[in-house]
Chain A
Amino acid sequence: MTTLHIDNSHHIREHLRERASATIKRRQFVSRLMIALCWVAIGLAALPLGDVIINLFSHGWSSVSSWAFYSQLPAQPTLVTPDAVGGVSNAIAGSAVILGYALLGALPIGIGIGVYTAESDSRFAATLRLVVATMVGAPSILMGLFAFGLVVVQLGMGFCIMAGSFAIGTMMLPVLAASTEIAVRNVPATLREAGLALGAKKSTTSLRIVLPAAITGIVSGAILAISRAIGETAPVLLVIGGSQAFTWKAGDFGEALPFMIYQDASSSYPAQRAQAWGIALFIVIVVFFLSLTARIWANSKQKERR
């Protein structure tokens, strides 16, 4: 730093002004450039996502809008009949059945864990919380390996719908537990204290006051878990075996929508690839519908309470 002298203060002021205007110009330029790059980033992000959506509709709409897609069993196209791909009714039913069994097991346990970890301060609860947080990030294919090791081999059930349900259920458990815990914790403590102050038992307070207040969060979490599970391919790929028939028995070979996408996408028949797009579009529509309903419902509930 130079010290100021009365004599040449004029020059220094002039010099500083020049320097300042130069830096301001540079800073403004850098700022404009980087802000422009942020706009570029948003464009770069929108490009692939938009392309996915456009392709889903342009390739998949003809399947999704035809009745045969929902009512017929799949068919194997031949060179003579390259367009005979049938429908995916068995895969829709299979996905629903797998998800149904999975929810049957995962919903009560998942919500139970969530309520327990939210209400308890014990060391076991703290450990569970950590396990839940860790398991949420576990790759889904590991659940497929787990279901294979336990259900297919150890329990001797072979490739079956039950193993798929088990894999999907195990995958949903930590998601349900985490969202339930947050929902229960978000219930104001005063509400719970009011219940207890009125002489209600802990269990009554929990069941009749806290859970109803937390239900929006719990249901939203469940819907999130379901919409994630519908498209989950890797775990079912390993254990359900694949089937061309219509079945809901837990011990049978099963079929699922994402599994069928996986098989169809690498087919050499254009009609089968179109079917893969169709199933993909169907899943995306279902997932969007589920998450939008959950969102709108949660919003309306919240307004109601205010």
Chain B
Amino acid sequence: MSLNTSTVSSPSPVTNVEGRKRPSTSSRGAYEYVLLTASALFALIAAYFVGTVIWRAVPAFREQGFGFFSNAMWNSSFDPTVPSQFGSLSMIIGTLITSGIAILIAVIVGTGTALAITFLLPSRLRTIAATLIELLAAVPSVVYGVWGLIILTPWFQYTVGPWLAGIPGFDWLFGTTAGGQCYLLAGLVLGAMILPSYVAIGREVINSVSKELIEASLSLGATQWQTLWKTVIPTARIGLFGAGTLALGRAIGETVAMSMVLGSALSTNYQLLKPGATLAGWIATQWGEAQGSNQVPALFALGVILMVVSLSMSLISNRLVARQRRAATL
């Protein structure tokens, strides 16, 4: 193992010294073995993590086959002559709806907020706003769950819901009856929840756009907005994309807040004022009664879907950001 001297080009003085004294074999002492052990342990944990979740889900996949993805029923049968039915379709669509609404809100409102903080606020307020946003990003999701359940659910049930349900021509979208816990509310709460983390990263990315570029644009006669839209955002787009992917990952994996504001209902009616379920939320709500039954492998199978989606998303975003960085340094 060699020291990382990537910042030093050409043969560095470090290697020269080492080469002369040849201590490289003897210096691989206890300290480096400790580091290596810690790292190996982590690699083992990571492998075991993936393995455990998949292995515990195998019985469900084997029993349900492809039906696990195409079926919207969830019936645990204790009678051995009647097969149990576990399907994740409803949860998959529920997750798509809620995180779709959330990411839409986070990206539109969040990008506007990040731009406003960086370019419109006076400099003294800017630091305060930035600190506040970062602190808010640390508010645990269960707090948003409490807020959504206790404050927003009644408001939705008696004020917002009836109003939306009464809009003529939008029955297909909202349905005709108002509900408290519903897809729309869940999406909004989720959006509010991931907004601070999106803004926190997005603000840094936008802040790193060079001043010269912005001044060049303004000096060519572009208006303030044209500069933001055609210079700042395109320059920062990969970073913003990364922030969005991160926020989306958080939205997809969000558990307790979703089980609190979305309820736990399975139906093939996906109108926005109906209660539903997400992958992660369903695991949490069913967990207690699932113990000791054949539901547990099925819940693990939901975990597998969640894992595949979230891990591949972060892999892709890592790749993209790394490629962008390499392109920037060349």
Q: Do A and B bind each other?
A: yes
Q: Interface residues, chain A, CB within 8 Å of chain B?
A: 27-28, 30-35, 37-42, 44-45, 48-49, 51-52, 55-56, 59, 108-109, 111-113, 115-122, 124-125, 127-128, 130-143, 145-146, 149-150, 153-154, 170, 173, 177, 185, 189, 192-193, 196-197, 201-203, 206-207, 224, 227-228, 230-234, 237-238, 258, 261-262, 265-266, 273, 276-277, 280, 283-284, 287-288, 291-292, 295
Taking a contact as CB atoms under 8 Å apart, the answer to whether B146 and A37 are in contact is no
**Interface CB pairs A-B, < 8 A, 7:** A45-B113, A49-B195, A119-B3, A120-B4, A145-B56, A262-B145, A288-B138
Knowing A109-B41, A112-B37, A280-B143, say if A119 contacts B4 (CB, 8 Å). Answer: yes
- A197 in contact with B311 (CB, 8 Å): no
Pairwise interchain contact B253-A141, C-beta atoms closer than 8 A: yes
Listed stretches B72-80, B156-164, B218-226, B265-273; interface member: B218-226
Q: How far is the CA of A217 from the CA of B56 in the complex (A)?
A: 38
5 closest A-B pairs by CB: A231-B140, A139-B253, A41-B112, A112-B38, A203-B31
Within 275-329 of B, Cβ neighbours of A (below 8 Å) are at: 280, 283-284, 287, 299-300, 303, 306-307, 310-311, 313-315, 318
Any chain A CB within 8 A of the CB of B151?
yes
Interface centre among A55, A59, A145, A231 (most CB of B within 10 A): A145
CB–CB A134/B138 < 8 A: no
> Is the pair B142, A258 in contact by a Cβ cutoff of 8 Å?
yes
Q: Does A38 lie within 8 Å of B38, measured CB to CB?
A: no
Tell me whether B280 and A141 are in contact (CB under 8 A). Answer: yes
- A128 CB contacts on chain B under 8 angstroms: 39, 42-43
- Chain B minimum-CB-distance residue to A184: B4
- Asked if B12 contacts A193 (CB within 8 A), the reply is yes
Please report the C-alpha to C-alpha distance between residue A39 and residue B144 in the assembled complex, in whole angstroms.
24
How close is B305's CB to chain A, nearest CB, in angstroms? Answer: 11
Query: How distant is B272 from chain A, measured CB to nearest CB, in Å?
Result: 18
B56 touches A138 (CB 8 A): no
Residue in A52, A125, A136, A173 with the greatest tally of chain B CB atoms within 10 Å: A52
Q: A120-B2, A146-B49, A234-B284 are in contact. Are A201 and B29 (CB under 8 A)?
A: yes
B115 / chain A contacts, CB cutoff of 8 Å: 38, 41
The answer, among B18, B53, B143, B253, for a CB contact under 8 Å with A284, is B143
- A131-B315 Cα distance, complex, nearest whole Å: 9
Return chain A residues, CB-CB under 8 Å to B135: 287-288, 291-292
Cβ B39 vs Cβ A116 within 8 A: yes
**Is B71 in contact with chain A by the CB < 8 A criterion?**
no
Q: Is the interface of A mostly helix, strand, loop or mixed?
A: helix
Asked whether, in the complex, the Cβ of A45 is within 8 Å of the Cβ of B300, the reply is no
Query: Which chain A residues lie closer than 8 Å to B150 at the CB level?
Result: 55, 59, 265, 273, 276-277
Given contacts A132-B42, A138-B311, A237-B256, 11 further A-B contacts (CB under 8 A): A31-B226, A41-B111, A45-B195, A49-B196, A121-B2, A131-B42, A141-B306, A185-B4, A265-B146, A283-B140, A288-B135
Specify the chain A residue showing the minimal Cβ separation from B42: A113
Whether B284 and A136, one on each chain, are in contact in the complex, defined by CB atoms closer than 8 angstroms, is: no
Taking A197-B13, A265-B146 as contacts, is the C-beta distance between A150 and B48 under 8 angstroms? yes
B252 at interface (Cβ–Cβ under 8 A)?
A: yes
Q: Is the CB of B145 within 8 A of A142?
A: no
Please give me the residue from chain B that is nearest to A228 by CB atom.
B138
The residue on A at minimum CB distance from B37 is A112
Q: Could you tell me if A233 and B303 are in contact, using CB atoms closer than 8 angstroms?
A: no
A287 and B38 within 8 A (CB): no
Partner of B303, one of A28, A142, A207: A142
| B210 CB–A CB distance under 8 Å | no
B146 close to A230 (CB less than 8 A): no
Please tell me if the beta carbons of A116 and B36 are within 8 angstroms of each other in the complex. yes
Residues of A within 8 A of B10 (CB): none
B125 CB to closest chain A CB (Å) equals 10
Q: Which B residues are CB-close (under 8 A) to A142?
A: 49, 53, 253, 303, 306-307, 310
Please pick, from A28, A44, A113, A153, the residue contacting B109 in the complex, using a CB distance under 8 A: A44
B149 at interface, CB cutoff 8 A: yes
Contacts of A177 in B (CB 8 A): 42
